[in-house]
Amino acid sequence: MQGDARWGFGHTVASVSAPWADSVTPVPPPASTVPHTSNLLYAGVVTGTWSGLISLAIYGVGRLLGVPFEVARPGTEGLQVVPWFLMLLVPLLAALVGALLAAIMLGRRHARRIVFWGGTAVAVLSCVSPLLQPADVLWSTRIWLLIPHVVTWFLVVPQLARIVGDSELGMYAQSDSSG
């Protein structure tokens, strides 16, 4: 069945190497707009801060509902309550470390996919700690501690992947220095 060009049916999606090529005005963004490590760090601070604030709010709601947030920490005896400031700082630190690791992929092929799936794998691995707590730790605590992991993944990983993806080869115009 032949597509109708008036309505945009039957057209293929633009190539990943030059998404601006099929634009109405096929002018790529200038090379000066290619993201750098500073852009990733800024995104890490912003997304990590929001993730930390939301995680802190989740912690507060959980405490109001009676979740004890008592976990076993390596090298200590008994259970200890998770301090509130860790709920704020850990997502921020995770986002900053993620931004620095994502910076390794700047300008490389398939960077967006690698950062997205790599960040997803790290987020899944981070969920092991709450799940593998000893039997003394209540399941309500384990589940409530998983929620900030999901929030941090949701806010941080796709944003870093998008920024790194904007640096992939062919996403911008090469500058002509002979002028």
Q: What is the pLDDT of residues 107-145, one digit of tens each?
A: 899 999 999 999 999 999 999 999 999 999 999 999 999
Beta bridge partners of 80: 71
Report which listed range, 63-77, 107-121, 159-173, is most confident: 107-121
69 with 136: CB under 8 angstroms?
A: no
Sequence-distant (6+) residues with CB within 8 A of 134 are 72
Q: What is the mean pLDDT of the chain?
A: 85
pTM of the predicted structure, to 2 decimals: 0.78
Nearest Cα to 53, choosing from 85, 7, 19? 85
- Choice among 90-94, 120-124, 174-178 with the minimum mean pLDDT: 174-178
